[in-house]
Amino acid sequence: MLDFEDVLVTYKSKQRGSIALAGYRNWFPLKPSEKIAGIVADLMGDGHLQDSPKYRLDFSSKSTEELNRFNNEIYDLFGVKGKIRDCKTNKYNTKNLGINNKPLARVLKQIGVPTGAKVFTSFPIPNWILQDKKLFARFINRLFSCEGCVDVKSRAIELKMYKTVEKVNDGIFFFNQMKTYLEKYYDIKSTKPFLEGSISTRKDGRKTQGIRIKIKNKQSLVKFGQFVCFDEKNKQMKLETIIKVISSLSKQEKTSI
Domain ranges in the chain are 1-116, 118-257
pLDDT tens digits, residue range 133-168?
A: 999 999 999 999 999 999 999 999 999 999 999 999
Q: Residue 119 carries which DSSP code?
A: G
Q: Using an 8 Å Cβ cutoff, are 111 and 1 in contact?
A: yes
- Amino acid present at 136: F
CA distance 222 to 244: 9
Confidence of residue 90 (pLDDT cuts 50, 70, 90): low
Average pLDDT value for the chain: 95
Residue 44, pLDDT score: 98
pTM above 0.85, yes or no: yes
Residue 91, pLDDT score: 67
Helices 34-45 & 102-110, crossing angle to 10 degrees? 100
At the fourth CATH level, which superfamily is domain 118-257? Homing endonucleases (3.10.28.10)
Percentage with pLDDT > 70 across the chain: 97
pLDDT tens digits, residue range 175-229?
A: 999 999 999 999 999 999 999 989 999 999 999 999 999 999 999 999 999 999 9
Domains 1-116 and 118-257 share a fold: yes
- Sequence-distant (6+) residues with CB within 8 A of 146 are 41, 42, 45, 46, 232
Confidence of residue 34 (pLDDT cuts 50, 70, 90): very high
Confidence of residue 52 (pLDDT cuts 50, 70, 90): confident
Q: Check whether 250 has a pLDDT greater than 90.
A: no
Q: Check whether 248 has a pLDDT greater than 80.
A: yes
Query: Residues 7, 11, 13, CA angle at the centre, nearest 5°?
Result: 130
CA distance 156 to 147: 14
- Sequence-distant (6+) residues with CB within 8 A of 43 are 49, 57, 59, 108, 113, 114
* Top CATH class, 1-116: alpha beta
Q: Check whether 256 has a pLDDT greater than 70.
A: no
Residue 95, pLDDT score: 95
pLDDT tens digits, residue range 3-20?
A: 999 999 999 999 999 999
Least confident of 17-26, 116-125, 242-251: 242-251
Residue 257, pLDDT score: 58
Closest to 24 in 3D by CA, of 144, 115, 105, 90: 105
CA distance 109 to 245: 42
Q: Residue 94 carries which DSSP code?
A: -
Q: Check whether 234 has a pLDDT greater than 70.
A: yes
CA distance 145 to 20: 34
DSSP code string of 143-207: HHHHHEEEETTTTEEEEEEEEEGGGHHHHHHHHHHHHHHHHHHH----PPPEE-SS-EE-TTS-E
Judge residue 169's burial from the number of C-beta atoms within 10 Å of its C-beta, 0-12 exposed, 13-18 middle, 19 or more buried: exposed
